A and B are shown apart, each in its own frame.
Chain A
């Protein structure tokens, strides 16, 4: 009689692992393999799937479209739009020039403005000494300009121009009388030595309005031109001192008030005075009078 609780059972299975499960277990216990499985496999899978997904040109276009649209929608928000150009520190003409040099179609997104390049463009204008650009809240492109200040009028062969103290060109003028308040300089290379000319002009203040201007001679020395075609020839070095000596002579002996064509101070040891023809004739006539010198 078989016991009732005795289920017909298969013989107990051998607990031994099969060769393949044994190899698998040993493989799974190999550190390199485990790291490869934990790190390498997810990496390769992710990379491969991503690569195969992105290799389709239609999907690439769709993705780039989304990016471009999102970018545009952010950039074109009203908070980022610039609709006004404000210029500070420039006169009307200069402001017009600046507006002409910055070809912007307002309104424009502030992301599209290259401030550095625009500043370069403004700086290219000759009357501008210094410029700074920024975008003010409220959508205003603010341009702060420091204009060049002309100190002399320079007459060259072809034109008449205004020059600031560094010799930089500011603007052209048509007539000398347009800027009668500024002194006149002339000659080749005069614009490169504006500071010397200004020094001479300041020194020549005592001559009052007899001063017509200063002329650069041979690109190395200065002449002072007065009215009645009088000239003071100054040396290359020590021009101011020489001019002061002439002014002192004028104060003591009224040299310039006499009929003198030029005073040559180029040799400091031997100042020379050239008289006009009439004065020379008169001098000779006086010398020949027999009574003279009795």
Chain B
């Protein structure tokens, strides 16, 4: 268990170095676009004397000084499928962001949507040595967790302690220093395909950059899009991206479930392309300008030039009514939402006290989607946009930047993960120097 997290620990060290330097790049590797932000940390996120965290919910510790987007190449279903192409796309986005920032960036925090995330709930309980819960006890109870066999070729992306319970008191966020006899913990672990992680790491390494962290896009979209009470009371964030639709469920400000549906906006585009016999670029344009999911009588009369570039006059002057377009789009969108519904049901979302659903991502901009979604997913559906952050250009404030913004927030205020805690003392090799140092530090 210890060496499993070595890479995660080394990424945490990188992140620490990046914080000291004050500049870090955020990279959202998506299927339709790659977004890069450059953040500068100025350390102004201190809580005031009167406990006032100020505007922007205390997120003012950083500022976006560079932002760039590029059409992504070599990424499908949120996973890198062509290394060279993806590497070039990443380089394009980062170069433009760096140029805008005017600062050399050496550390990158990346997120991606696909790679078949799977959630596991872990729990463990131990008897305390003394009456008081110490840091060592916390580390011990975490290491006691019964880790399921998640299969070879997969890697743990997140492993977050969600809840601590001491005897019969549950819902503790920080049990240290409290009195009790039995400490138990609930953890949420997210594993993804190891190859996808390695591909991202390799691409970033090829750009002479250091990877300072990696996160699931489902998680960071939820961080940026869900407001505080939604995160507290229970809600699901559905990030409808280009190649994958990722789902995350939050309660008590912790993610407890994440999943991903391998369908997204690109499938809608390819449906249009097939249905109207037009190139993909045209189909994308038609979807963006005229797309919708609710046909009205007016839409039968609104004719769209679907065009073409063949030189054949008849072929290039074709038109389609908007109702036809909607007729093509709607089944696919419904299919995606049905699939999301199935995943939410499997996760037991309907047992949560509040069942708010927030739609975000580029796909959520289809007009009328909220009406369709509330029919399939339930009544409490809203369209979410990411939180405002300092210095973000207007062009990058839309729902399609939810995961990039969420990753910025996570970079400024990281969630404690398993590997952020001390390794319990009994897991050190006997007679090691660190063991002696720790004994001295604990006893003197």
Chain A residues with a Cβ under 8 A of chain B? 1-3, 6, 14-17, 19, 22-23, 25-26, 29-31
Contacts and interface: CB of A to CB of B under 8 A. Distances in A.
A213 B91 CA distance: 115
| Complex A-B, nearest 5 residue pairs according to Cβ-Cβ distance, in ascending order | A16-B88, A29-B104, A16-B92, A2-B311, A1-B311
Contacts of A22: 91, 95, 207-208
Interface in B10-24: none
A3 B308 CA distance: 12
B307 to A, nearest CB: 12
A25 B95 contact: yes
A102 B70 CA distance: 92
Interface string B96-125: 001100111000000000000000000000
B92 A17 contact: yes
Interface in B194-215: 206-208
B89 A16 contact: yes
Given A1-B311, A25-B95, 17 more contacts: A1-B312, A1-B313, A2-B311, A6-B311, A15-B92, A16-B92, A17-B92, A17-B95, A19-B91, A22-B207, A23-B208, A26-B208, A29-B98, A29-B102, A29-B103, A29-B104, A31-B104
Contacts of A14: 88
A1 B316 CA distance: 11
A289 B359 CA distance: 168
B157 to A, nearest CB: 27
A15 B92 CA distance: 7
A interface, over-half SS: loop
Contacts of B206: 19
A2 B99 CA distance: 41
Nearest to A30: B104
Nearest to A26: B104
Contacts of B95: 17, 22, 25
Contacts, number: 35
Nearest to A21: B95
Contacts of A6: 311
Given A1-B311, A3-B311, A25 B98 contact: yes
Q: Tell me which of A1, A3, A22 has the highest count of chain B C-beta atoms within 10 A of its own C-beta.
A: A22
11 contacts: A1-B311, A1-B313, A2-B311, A3-B311, A6-B311, A14-B88, A16-B92, A17-B91, A17-B95, A19-B206, A22-B208
B442 to A, nearest CB: 43
A14 B82 CA distance: 15
B104 A16 contact: no
Task: Give the size range of B's interface with the partner.
Answer: 10 to 19
Contacts of B70: 15
Nearest to B89: A16
A118 B70 CA distance: 87
A231 B313 CA distance: 156
Contacts of B92: 15-17
Contacts of A25: 95, 98-99
Contacts of A23: 208
Contacts of B208: 22-23, 26
A146 B278 CA distance: 119
Nearest to A3: B311
Contacts of B207: 22
Nearest to B101: A29
B271 to A, nearest CB: 25
Contact of B98 (A15, A26, A31): A26
Nearest to B209: A26
B70 to A, nearest CB: 7
Nearest to A17: B95
Interface in B64-109: 70, 88-89, 91-92, 95, 98-99, 102-104
A2 B89 CA distance: 33
Nearest to B106: A26
A23 B206 CA distance: 11
A23 B104 CA distance: 11
Contacts of B103: 29
Contacts of B102: 29
Nearest to B95: A17
Nearest to A29: B104
B238 to A, nearest CB: 32
B88 to A, nearest CB: 3
Nearest to B104: A29
Contacts of A30: 104
Contacts of A3: 311
A23 B98 CA distance: 12
A1 B315 CA distance: 11
Q: Tell me which of A25, A30, A31 has the highest count of chain B C-beta atoms within 10 A of its own C-beta.
A: A25
Contacts of B104: 26, 29-31
Nearest to B103: A29
Contacts of B88: 14, 16
Contacts of B311: 1-3, 6
Contact of A16 (B91, B98, B99, B312): B91
A182 B98 CA distance: 103
Contacts of A19: 91, 206
Contacts of A31: 104
A14 B88 CA distance: 9
Nearest to A23: B208
A26 B98 CA distance: 8
Contacts of B89: 16
